[in-house]
């Protein structure tokens, strides 16, 4: 038997159960199945790097801004270890961090989801935070920001001051960002 591995659009344990586990249980009742309990995590893991833990532990994790910032700190540590702590290594780490932040800012903390929304405590993969969403702390609000200049500010907390005139524009085509540290939109 060749196992079949599901791919993409998983953003929570509920998604994993619905799209992976439930079809396996249904198929197992009918006949032998080649379906696998394995699934590939793509964008969901870029936005919620703790997604594998949520799935493994079959739970929703209302991860704090401090815990998320600690993940960023660890990411920067690994980047500096890989590329060096000289000017070029710091800038390479900063660019990769900013690309990742262009995905991470899309996470809406469970405690901020409005009651009455579908599945109350579950964000959908394509759901974005409102433009001016306020977090439960200053750090959480900064992590929710869709603005490049705020991501640069986060990078400065971790890697020191960005070079004079530094600007950043994500490489992917998301429409929820501003293109530079000045906050101007690149979309027309």
Tens-place pLDDT, residues 136-161? 999 999 999 999 999 999 999 999 99
Q: Is the pLDDT assigned to residue 116 strictly greater than 80?
A: no
- Model confidence at 65: pLDDT above 90: yes
- Select the more confidently predicted residue: 172 or 141: 141
Rounded to an integer, what distance in angstroms lies between the CA atom of residue 28 and that of residue 25? Answer: 5
- What's the pLDDT score for residue 52? 92
Higher pLDDT, 129 or 108: 108
The pLDDT mean for the chain works out to: 83
Give the Cα separation of 70 and 97 in Å (integer): 13
Please say if the pLDDT value at position 27 is more than 80: no
Q: Is the pLDDT of residue 85 over 90?
A: yes
* Residue 138, pLDDT score: 96
pLDDT at 58 over 70: yes
Q: Label residue 31 exposed, middle or buried (CB < 10 Å: 0-12, 13-18, 19+).
A: exposed
Q: How far is CA 69 from the centre of its chain?
A: 12
Best CA proximity match to 60, nearest among 123, 126, 117: 123
Go through the chain and tell me how many residues it has.
188
**Which pLDDT value is given to residue 84?**
98
Return the pLDDT at 15: 87
Is the dihedral angle over the CA atoms 63, 139, 186, 160 positive or is it negative? negative
């Amino acid at each position: 038997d060749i196992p079949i591995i599901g791919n993409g659009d998983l953003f929570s344990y509920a998604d994993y159960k619905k799209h992976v586990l439930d079809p396996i249980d249904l198929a197992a009742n009918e006949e032998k199945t080649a379906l696998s309990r394995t699934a590939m995590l793509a964008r969901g893991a870029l936005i919620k790097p703790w997604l594998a833990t949520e799935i493994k532990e079959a739970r929703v994790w209302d991860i704090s801004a401090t815990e998320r910032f600690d993940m960023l700190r660890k990411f920067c540590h690994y980047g500096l270890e890989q590329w060096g702590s000289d000017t070029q290594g710091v800038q390479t780490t900063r660019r990769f961090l900013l690309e990742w932040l262009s995905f991470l800012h899309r996470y809406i903390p469970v405690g901020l989801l409005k009651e009455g929304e579908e599945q109350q405590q579950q964000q959908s993969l394509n759901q974005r935070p409102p433009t001016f969403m306020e977090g439960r702390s200053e750090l959480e609000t900064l992590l929710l920001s869709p603005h490049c200049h705020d991501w640069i500010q986060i990078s400065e907390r971790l890697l020191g001051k960005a070079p004079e005139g530094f600007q950043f524009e994500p490489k992917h085509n998301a429409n929820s960002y501003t293109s530079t540290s000045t906050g101007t939109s690149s979309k027309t």
